[in-house]
Amino acid sequence: MKFNTTETAPHQFDFCEGDVIVRYAQTNGMKVRGHTLVWHNALPPWLTSGNYTSAEAASLLQEHITVELSHYKGQVGEWDVVNEAIAYRRSIWPDAFVLAYKAGQQLY
Protein backbone atom coordinates (compact mmCIF):
# COMPACT_ATOMS: atom_id res chain seq x y z
CA MET A 1 0.00 0.00 0.00
CA LYS A 2 3.04 2.25 -0.07
CA PHE A 3 3.37 5.03 -2.65
CA ASN A 4 6.17 3.33 -4.62
CA THR A 5 4.11 0.17 -5.18
CA THR A 6 0.69 1.71 -5.77
CA GLU A 7 1.73 4.48 -8.19
CA THR A 8 4.77 3.33 -10.14
CA ALA A 9 4.23 6.00 -12.80
CA PRO A 10 2.48 9.37 -12.57
CA HIS A 11 -1.31 8.96 -12.43
CA GLN A 12 -1.07 5.16 -12.96
CA PHE A 13 -2.32 3.23 -9.98
CA ASP A 14 -1.95 -0.47 -9.22
CA PHE A 15 -3.59 -1.80 -6.08
CA CYS A 16 -3.14 -5.52 -6.83
CA GLU A 17 -0.75 -6.26 -3.96
CA GLY A 18 -2.82 -4.38 -1.41
CA ASP A 19 -6.03 -5.95 -2.70
CA VAL A 20 -4.59 -9.41 -2.01
CA ILE A 21 -3.91 -8.43 1.60
CA VAL A 22 -7.38 -6.92 2.01
CA ARG A 23 -9.10 -10.00 0.53
CA TYR A 24 -7.11 -12.30 2.82
CA ALA A 25 -8.06 -10.23 5.85
CA GLN A 26 -11.74 -10.12 4.85
CA THR A 27 -11.81 -13.87 4.24
CA ASN A 28 -10.31 -14.51 7.67
CA GLY A 29 -12.31 -11.96 9.66
CA MET A 30 -9.35 -9.65 10.20
CA LYS A 31 -9.18 -5.86 10.25
CA VAL A 32 -6.81 -4.00 7.94
CA ARG A 33 -4.62 -1.05 8.82
CA GLY A 34 -3.16 0.76 5.83
CA HIS A 35 0.57 1.48 5.97
CA THR A 36 1.55 4.02 4.73
CA LEU A 37 0.29 6.66 2.30
CA VAL A 38 3.41 8.86 2.43
CA TRP A 39 6.86 7.80 3.64
CA HIS A 40 10.17 9.23 2.47
CA ASN A 41 11.67 5.72 2.19
CA ALA A 42 8.89 4.51 -0.12
CA LEU A 43 8.45 7.29 -2.66
CA PRO A 44 8.48 6.23 -6.33
CA PRO A 45 11.61 7.11 -8.35
CA TRP A 46 9.60 9.16 -10.86
CA LEU A 47 8.61 11.42 -8.01
CA THR A 48 11.91 11.77 -6.20
CA SER A 49 13.83 12.43 -9.42
CA GLY A 50 11.24 14.88 -10.75
CA ASN A 51 11.72 18.62 -10.68
CA TYR A 52 8.32 19.58 -9.27
CA THR A 53 7.25 22.93 -7.94
CA SER A 54 5.65 22.99 -4.50
CA ALA A 55 2.22 23.35 -6.11
CA GLU A 56 2.83 20.41 -8.46
CA ALA A 57 4.11 18.23 -5.61
CA ALA A 58 1.10 19.13 -3.47
CA SER A 59 -1.24 18.24 -6.34
CA LEU A 60 0.50 14.87 -6.87
CA LEU A 61 0.32 14.11 -3.17
CA GLN A 62 -3.35 15.10 -2.99
CA GLU A 63 -4.19 12.91 -5.97
CA HIS A 64 -2.28 9.92 -4.63
CA ILE A 65 -3.90 10.08 -1.21
CA THR A 66 -7.39 10.69 -2.59
CA VAL A 67 -7.22 7.84 -5.10
CA GLU A 68 -5.81 5.34 -2.62
CA LEU A 69 -8.18 6.24 0.21
CA SER A 70 -11.12 6.10 -2.20
CA HIS A 71 -10.04 2.69 -3.50
CA TYR A 72 -9.89 1.20 -0.01
CA LYS A 73 -12.80 3.07 1.55
CA GLY A 74 -14.87 0.65 3.60
CA GLN A 75 -12.12 -1.99 3.45
CA VAL A 76 -9.31 -0.39 5.45
CA GLY A 77 -10.38 0.90 8.84
CA GLU A 78 -7.41 3.07 9.72
CA TRP A 79 -4.29 4.44 8.09
CA ASP A 80 -0.76 5.42 8.93
CA VAL A 81 -1.01 8.48 6.73
CA VAL A 82 2.45 10.05 6.92
CA ASN A 83 5.33 8.04 8.34
CA GLU A 84 8.37 9.76 9.86
CA ALA A 85 7.29 13.23 8.73
CA ILE A 86 9.45 15.01 11.28
CA ALA A 87 12.54 12.84 10.73
CA TYR A 88 12.70 13.71 7.05
CA ARG A 89 13.23 17.45 6.78
CA ARG A 90 14.22 17.52 3.10
CA SER A 91 10.82 16.36 1.94
CA ILE A 92 9.47 17.84 -1.28
CA TRP A 93 6.27 18.43 0.69
CA PRO A 94 6.83 20.60 3.72
CA ASP A 95 3.10 20.35 4.45
CA ALA A 96 2.65 16.66 3.58
CA PHE A 97 1.07 15.85 6.91
CA VAL A 98 -1.48 18.65 6.67
CA LEU A 99 -2.43 17.72 3.09
CA ALA A 100 -2.75 14.04 3.95
CA TYR A 101 -4.73 14.69 7.11
CA LYS A 102 -7.23 16.93 5.28
CA ALA A 103 -7.66 14.42 2.47
CA GLY A 104 -8.29 11.66 4.98
CA GLN A 105 -10.85 13.73 6.85
CA GLN A 106 -12.79 14.40 3.65
CA LEU A 107 -12.89 10.73 2.64
CA TYR A 108 -13.32 8.93 5.95
pLDDT in tens, 37-83: 888 889 899 998 988 887 888 889 889 989 999 999 999 998 887 77
| Mean pLDDT score across all residues of the chain | 86
Q: What are phi and psi of 50, to 5 degrees?
A: -75, 160
Contacts of 5 (CB under 8 A, 6+ apart): 14, 17, 18, 42
Q: At what angle do helices 54-72 and 96-107 cross, to 10 degrees?
A: 30
Strand intervals (E) in 1-108: 33-39, 78-83
0.75 cut: is pTM over it?
Answer: yes
Q: Are 100 and 61 spatial neighbours (Cβ–Cβ below 8 Å)?
A: yes
